[in-house]
Chain A
């Protein structure tokens, strides 16, 4: 294949399931994995005579997400019916927002691999109801499960500002972090809480001329890995196709493709963008939404420092590595917990190590967040201080932290109970060191003789002291005494 110069152009459509107790227009509980059609009512199955009633919480969460994405929130927004016939759509129209989306004209900052950030423009974000699911499991017929029908979805559309598969992935990860920070969504990819649809094409320069390849929309991606791989694949496929056919973008030749994860390929679903006419019109069953200033202020109070800013601040303010800062800021509660412990006097790096090496591991096992382990920020700070002051060893700190999830006792009490307080008493240790030196004349000689053997002999003597103290001697102090005596 010839070597072509090209730019990758990607825009994203993202569906985010909102973290509400009930559905968008009825009081059915949001569910996952329940028996088919067990979470439905006359409204979400579109029964004749039923009417939708707006879920205010969903509107507030959407506005909050819009604010976090730096969007303008519409003062006045409304509901529109989007008509199309499909078995998973009970009314044969979806309640959505057409020409007056709830939020528009924003941007999101995403981290790049080189440590810089990039701004991706957000075109719009609007609220709509999800459809049900068609099941093709048995026999010569299909079934429909409407448990999901009516679940509130926030559809976010970006401008085509993304220029690599890695950037697309980065946006996905960053958006997940944002919506989780705000409590807008659980954003559990495995449960389909976030679904991504990249629109991909290339701008190829050949013989001084620019050619645009036809846009392909990849449908329904729900893992970060799939997002990155599918875009990478699509780029290569479009390059190859252009080389072979020279086909360029024109009206009506946008295609829809699915992602076959096992084969690692995108697969053609629809050859040509169907001339869909959704016949949008305002839903007469619902009243328009007007955001008053006081309501907007109330919603805005739910905003917080965005994760990407917080991560940067953690690096600068707490002297952490970018990696550690990223781990700590992945979840808002963990980051809050960390900052509280530091505020309570814990040294930042020590608190960070305890949290990332012990806390998150335990949290992961317990399927909760680090802040929910039952350890108070004050006690974590005290533990960090003990480790820093040499009262306990780093290993002991981990043991104590594990114990702290089971008891409300202060770390010092636990350390004493477990006999983990280090011996720092120089006078006491000097007596022990002298005794060891006397018992190991050969080793003392080896140390004094210098050379290769000297280092090993020093280690041996230190080990003897530690053994004698059952590991509770502060190795730093012992090493100092040894240095002096020899």
Chain B
């Protein structure tokens, strides 16, 4: 069964397929393949089937079933749900059961989505390979020797392996786009403030954004129509007056005339040969469609990684302070006093990378260092924003690779955090600037591993960005290729 979201939804809504059948079929695939892939930390088979049957009944009586009508959807395990745990793939929150649903989860449910499970990730979304999960190992469906990318590795692998129709991920520095690129699927990081963060367990609050991971661009547009919008519970979500939510699906197949695409030469040349080649071919595809390609300079983007690892870790050091064994999280035994509870619980509950980032962030905010690190990082962040504003005066979107490489092997970068951090070099800037960015499949390397093309657009230009992505997709077949495992 082809489980892509839009088609399945149309079939279900029209009564050609029952939601319960679709959900059961997806669970068959999960049962067959997920022991090899490791996408899901938890699944909700009984609840999902019960919900889909209810939905089928609703449809059979002619009632509207919502725009996701009975489609099986996965969500990353850092979004709160009243069902199951919200573990963030951490020993700390392994047993945390939220008393409320994240706003996006509520939106999915009211759109008729069937939430089938929660996916693996790097602990607290910190990582680029999902190797930092304290609970589960996820492999790349294209090559099980390789990582699926991260931190939303479970979501990307599940979509690639047909173990859901679509998934939600969260993206702080590339955590949607990089695994989408590694797994050969579509991943969209919306504009900061477009999607509510309420119920998303925070990593870097000024960077975090929830977005869809899907089999194709149209599905990403459909998912955006469900999750975008102002939320009074999230002060940083943008109100409709400032930036009205547009229908991303309405004109998705209409090409944009007089399209101007900017390329940043210094970025392309930094990537692997195969990646460079695929990107150059993608540029040719756009040219053939009549797009004008302009070369631009974004001089401050090279500082992205440095700025990111100060801003994100500083915010994380505050956000993760509450996991102390007193308020939340794992509580150590054999303790003397409350300081002891803090020290021992945090020592045992957090993994290595999370501790490293808390240390980094704490250091950057410490008195005497604040100005030199955090304050300076904020200033450079503004310069990066400026680079984007200037770029968008000259173009509709910026085109660069999603990643400098394709999926790497397990363990390859685990001993060298800096090398791991640098794999996010192309994705981080969009988070710092708050602009929307999408990764779409644009080819394969010599080892048959997928390559991702990244497009970035002005803030709140998701509708246009998706159309530009769709233009490429409509002329290519990369997104139709499925990993050999299924």
Chain A contacts to B: CB under 8 angstroms = 42, 45-54, 81, 83, 85, 87, 90-93, 142, 144, 277, 279-281, 284-287
Asked if A51 and B235 make an inter-chain contact with CB atoms under 8 angstroms apart, the answer reads: yes
Asked if A92 and B314 make an inter-chain contact with CB atoms under 8 angstroms apart, the answer reads: no
Interface size class of B (residues with CB under 8 A): 35 or more
Q: How far is the CB of B372 from chain A (nearest CB, A)?
A: 14
A330 CA to B363 CA, complexed, in Å: 51
Asked if A47 and B236 make an inter-chain contact with CB atoms under 8 angstroms apart, the answer reads: no
Residues in A whose Cβ lies below 8 Å from that of B100:
42, 47, 49
Residues in A whose Cβ lies below 8 Å from that of B201:
48-49
Residues in A whose Cβ lies below 8 Å from that of B392:
none
Which residue in B198, B206, B236, B317 is a CB contact (below 8 Å) of A49? B198
A90 CA to B322 CA, complexed, in Å: 7
Asked if A279 and B362 make an inter-chain contact with CB atoms under 8 angstroms apart, the answer reads: yes
CB of B27 closer than 8 Å to a CB of A: no
Known A279-B362, A281-B374: A92·B327 in contact at CB below 8 Å: yes
A/B interface sample: 19 pairs, CB < 8 A: A48-B96, A49-B98, A49-B100, A49-B102, A50-B198, A50-B199, A51-B233, A51-B236, A85-B324, A85-B339, A91-B327, A93-B318, A277-B367, A279-B362, A279-B367, A281-B315, A284-B315, A285-B205, A285-B236
Known pairs A42-B98, A48-B322, A279-B367; list 16 more (Cβ under 8 Å).
Answer: A45-B327, A46-B328, A47-B98, A49-B79, A49-B100, A51-B234, A53-B233, A90-B327, A93-B321, A142-B338, A277-B366, A279-B365, A284-B204, A284-B205, A285-B235, A286-B236
Q: How far is the CB of A132 from chain B (nearest CB, A)?
A: 10
A52 CA to B102 CA, complexed, in Å: 14
Residues in A whose Cβ lies below 8 Å from that of B79:
49
Question: Within residues 201 to 247 of chain B, which ones have a CB less than 8 A from any CB in chain A?
Answer: 201-202, 204-206, 232-236
A48 CA to B362 CA, complexed, in Å: 20
A118 CA to B315 CA, complexed, in Å: 45
Instruction: Name the residue among A48, A91, A142 with the largest chain B CB count within 10 angstroms.
Output: A48
CB of B305 closer than 8 Å to a CB of A: no
Q: How far is the CB of A397 from chain B (nearest CB, A)?
A: 56
Which residue in A45, A49, A50, A85 is a CB contact (below 8 Å) of B321? A85
Asked if B321 and A91 make an inter-chain contact with CB atoms under 8 angstroms apart, the answer reads: yes
Known A279-B367, A281-B318, A281-B365: A49·B205 in contact at CB below 8 Å: no
CB of B118 closer than 8 Å to a CB of A: no
Asked if A92 and B370 make an inter-chain contact with CB atoms under 8 angstroms apart, the answer reads: no
CB of B86 closer than 8 Å to a CB of A: yes
A48 CA to B87 CA, complexed, in Å: 10
Residues in B whose Cβ lies below 8 Å from that of A48:
80, 86, 88, 93, 96, 98, 201-202, 322, 328
A473 CA to B317 CA, complexed, in Å: 84
Q: How far is the CB of A258 from chain B (nearest CB, A)?
A: 20
Asked if B235 and A91 make an inter-chain contact with CB atoms under 8 angstroms apart, the answer reads: no
Asked if B235 and A54 make an inter-chain contact with CB atoms under 8 angstroms apart, the answer reads: yes
Q: How far is the CB of A56 from chain B (nearest CB, A)?
A: 11
B interface, over-half SS: loop
CB of B326 closer than 8 Å to a CB of A: yes
CB of B99 closer than 8 Å to a CB of A: yes
Asked if A83 and B327 make an inter-chain contact with CB atoms under 8 angstroms apart, the answer reads: no
Nearest 10 pairs of A and B residues by beta carbon:
A92-B321, A284-B206, A284-B205, A279-B365, A49-B80, A49-B199, A48-B201, A277-B367, A49-B201, A91-B322
A142 CA to B337 CA, complexed, in Å: 10
Residues in A whose Cβ lies below 8 Å from that of B315:
281, 284
Give B365-400 as 1s and 0s: 1 = Cβ < 8 Å from A's Cβ atoms.
111001000100000000000000000000000000
Residues in A whose Cβ lies below 8 Å from that of B232:
53
Question: Within residues 328 to 348 of chain B, which ones have a CB less than 8 A from any CB in chain A?
Answer: 328, 338-339, 342
CB of B197 closer than 8 Å to a CB of A: yes
Q: Which residue of A lies closest to B79 (CB)?
A: A49
Q: Which residue of B lies closest to A92 (CB)?
A: B321
A284 CA to B201 CA, complexed, in Å: 14
Asked if A49 and B99 make an inter-chain contact with CB atoms under 8 angstroms apart, the answer reads: no
Question: Within residues 173 to 208 of chain B, which ones have a CB less than 8 A from any CB in chain A?
Answer: 197-202, 204-206
Asked if B327 and A49 make an inter-chain contact with CB atoms under 8 angstroms apart, the answer reads: no
Question: Within residues 73 to 119 of chain B, which ones have a CB less than 8 A from any CB in chain A?
Answer: 79-80, 86, 88, 93, 96, 98-100, 102
Chain B contacts to A: CB under 8 angstroms = 79-80, 86, 88, 93, 96, 98-100, 102, 197-202, 204-206, 232-236, 314-315, 317-318, 321-322, 324, 326-328, 338-339, 342, 362, 365-367, 370, 374
Known A49-B202, A51-B198: A81·B338 in contact at CB below 8 Å: no
Residues in A whose Cβ lies below 8 Å from that of B322:
46, 48, 90-92
Asked if B96 and A87 make an inter-chain contact with CB atoms under 8 angstroms apart, the answer reads: no
Which residue in B88, B93, B99, B374 is a CB contact (below 8 Å) of A42? B99
Asked if A52 and B235 make an inter-chain contact with CB atoms under 8 angstroms apart, the answer reads: yes
Residues in B whose Cβ lies below 8 Å from that of A85:
321, 324, 339, 342
Residues in B whose Cβ lies below 8 Å from that of A281:
314-315, 318, 365, 370, 374
Residues in B whose Cβ lies below 8 Å from that of A49:
79-80, 86, 98, 100, 102, 198-202
Asked if B99 and A284 make an inter-chain contact with CB atoms under 8 angstroms apart, the answer reads: no
Asked if B366 and A279 make an inter-chain contact with CB atoms under 8 angstroms apart, the answer reads: yes
Instruction: Name the residue among B86, B235, B328, B342 with the largest chain A CB count within 10 angstroms.
Output: B235
Residues in B whose Cβ lies below 8 Å from that of A284:
204-206, 236, 315
A45 CA to B99 CA, complexed, in Å: 12
A85 CA to B318 CA, complexed, in Å: 11
Q: How far is the CB of B116 from chain A (nearest CB, A)?
A: 20
A270 CA to B370 CA, complexed, in Å: 27
Asked if B338 and A87 make an inter-chain contact with CB atoms under 8 angstroms apart, the answer reads: yes
A236 CA to B263 CA, complexed, in Å: 75
A49 CA to B88 CA, complexed, in Å: 11
Q: How far is the CB of B180 from chain A (nearest CB, A)?
A: 23
Instruction: Name the residue among B86, B315, B374 with the largest chain A CB count within 10 angstroms.
Output: B315
Q: How far is the CB of A321 from chain B (nearest CB, A)?
A: 52
A93 CA to B98 CA, complexed, in Å: 21
A317 CA to B318 CA, complexed, in Å: 57
Residues in A whose Cβ lies below 8 Å from that of B102:
49
A214 CA to B221 CA, complexed, in Å: 66
Q: How far is the CB of B115 from chain A (nearest CB, A)?
A: 16
Residues in A whose Cβ lies below 8 Å from that of B96:
48
A280 CA to B375 CA, complexed, in Å: 12
A42 CA to B322 CA, complexed, in Å: 13
A93 CA to B374 CA, complexed, in Å: 18
Q: How far is the CB of A40 from chain B (nearest CB, A)?
A: 11
Which residue in A47, A91, A277 is a CB contact (below 8 Å) of B99? A47
Asked if A287 and B236 make an inter-chain contact with CB atoms under 8 angstroms apart, the answer reads: yes
Which residue in A46, A51, A54 is a CB contact (below 8 Å) of B327? A46
Residues in A whose Cβ lies below 8 Å from that of B202:
48-49, 285
Residues in B whose Cβ lies below 8 Å from that of A142:
338
Instruction: Name the residue among A50, A92, A279 with the largest chain B CB count within 10 angstroms.
Output: A279
Q: How far is the CB of A345 from chain B (nearest CB, A)?
A: 52
Residues in A whose Cβ lies below 8 Å from that of B338:
87, 142
Q: How far is the CB of A90 from chain B (nearest CB, A)?
A: 5
Q: How far is the CB of A238 from chain B (nearest CB, A)?
A: 29
A52 CA to B198 CA, complexed, in Å: 9
Residues in B whose Cβ lies below 8 Å from that of A52:
235
A48 CA to B202 CA, complexed, in Å: 7
Residues in B whose Cβ lies below 8 Å from that of A277:
366-367
Residues in B whose Cβ lies below 8 Å from that of A279:
317-318, 362, 365-367, 370
Asked if A83 and B321 make an inter-chain contact with CB atoms under 8 angstroms apart, the answer reads: yes
Q: How far is the CB of A3 from chain B (nearest CB, A)?
A: 43
Asked if B235 and A287 make an inter-chain contact with CB atoms under 8 angstroms apart, the answer reads: yes
A426 CA to B111 CA, complexed, in Å: 92
